[in-house]
Amino acid sequence: MGMKTGSKKVRSRVLLRDTFTGVERWHENEYPYSEYLWEHGNNSCDCNRFMYFYPDSEEEFPCNVGESRFVIVRWEGEKTE
C-alpha cells in the first residue's frame, strides 16, 4: 500500500467526521488500526478525537458522555488484533 507522509511511515489512517459540521478529515497513524483503541480506548473519546481533527487548536475538548461528536466513517491500512 505504501502510504507515506514525509519521513513518517503511515501504517493506518482513520476518516473522522465532525457531526456538528459534517466535515470529514483523515487522521494518520504510525501504528496499525486497533479496534480496541478506537472503540474502547483513548481514541474512542472526543477529547482525543478533537485533537486529531483540529491539531492546531488550543482548546481542551470535553470527554463525551454517550454519543461521540466525532465518529469514524472508515479506516484504511494495517490492522492489529
- Provide the binding-site residues for Zn ion, judged by CB under 5 A: 45, 47, 63
- Of 26 and 61, the one with the shorter C-beta distance to Zn ion is 61
SS3 of the chain: the string is CCCEECCEECCEEEEEEECCCCCEEEEEECCCEEHHHHHCCHHHCHHHHHHHHCCCCCCCCCCCCCCCCEEEEEEEECEEC
Name which of 23 and 63 has its Cβ closer to Zn ion: 63
Between residues 10 and 46, which has the closer beta carbon with respect to Zn ion? 46
Q: How far is the CB of 56 from Zn ion (least distance, A)?
A: 19
